[in-house]
Amino acid sequence: MNALPTDPDEAALVRAATAGRDAAFTQLMRRHKAELYRFIRRYVGDADEAYDVLQDSFVAAWKALDRYDPARPFEYWLKRIALNKCRDWARRRTVRRWLGLAGENPFEAALAQADDTPTAETSLADRQELMRLDRAIAALPAKLKEPLLLSVFEDMPHDAVGQLLGISAKAVETRVYRARRKLAEAMRLPPDSLG
């Protein structure tokens, strides 16, 4: 089997992966893993759960690879899959909570975990504030959280977010505005009131 070029076009990697070259799909995963993890982590608000959803997303992408449209950006297609997996996770969590099977509060678990990529100059106060923000984002309703994460944190244009979510670009803009207002309100609250 031939070695993959160091920086091949994503469409070529998808074609190679569809043809059975596992190394091509591995390279696609490596390219998008960190960015997709950050997106999922912000959606679910828990580091461990985010890894599970990330794995589910890559498994689903592998299974659906033959349905990828190379005319569209691969990262948007992958985020759509991750978004659907995040929604599935949220539905399962709601059902578990309704049935009384949820166990510990996921926001408390997120607080107990250190930042995944701590640096020497990062202070404890900064990490706590970041965790508060993550919890506040995770607590937003899906119709506000999804446009916010995709357009603000993933830097996708409003029209692309609208296509991904099946809404207009103006609706994306409105929802992002509302999400930012809710976050601003939540961040003004005392830290104990967010979890």
Report if residue 170 sits inside a domain: yes
Tokens of 130: 């970041």
Q: What's the pLDDT score for residue 104?
A: 46
Q: Does 97 lie in the same domain as 131?
A: no
Q: What's the pLDDT score for residue 190?
A: 59
Query: For the chain, what is the domain count?
Result: 2
Q: What's the pLDDT score for residue 83?
A: 92
Q: What's the pLDDT score for residue 85?
A: 92
Q: What's the pLDDT score for residue 51?
A: 94
Q: Does 150 lie in the same domain as 80?
A: no
CATH number, domain of 145, equals: 1.10.10.10
**Inter-CA distances, 105 with 7, 76, 150, 184, Å:** 43, 31, 26, 23
Q: Does 99 lie in the same domain as 145?
A: no
Q: What's the pLDDT score for residue 129?
A: 74
Q: Does 71 lie in the same domain as 26?
A: yes
CA distance 178 to 99: 31
Q: What's the pLDDT score for residue 40?
A: 93
Report if residue 2 sits inside a domain: no
CATH number, domain of 44, equals: 1.10.1740.10
The size of the chain, in residues, is 195
Report if residue 174 sits inside a domain: yes
pTM of the model: 0.62
Report if residue 47 sits inside a domain: yes
Dihedral over alpha carbons 114, 179, 93, 156 (to 10 degrees): -80
Q: What's the pLDDT score for residue 187?
A: 80
Helices marked H in 67-152:
74-99, 106-112, 124-139, 142-148
- What range does the domain containing 69 cover? 9-103
Q: Does 95 lie in the same domain as 43?
A: yes
| Residue-level pLDDT, tens digit, the chain, 195 residues | 444 334 457 888 888 988 888 898 999 999 999 999 999 999 998 888 999 999 999 999 999 998 888 888 888 999 999 999 998 888 887 766 654 544 444 444 444 444 444 444 445 666 677 778 888 888 999 999 999 989 888 888 999 999 999 999 999 999 999 998 998 888 876 555 444
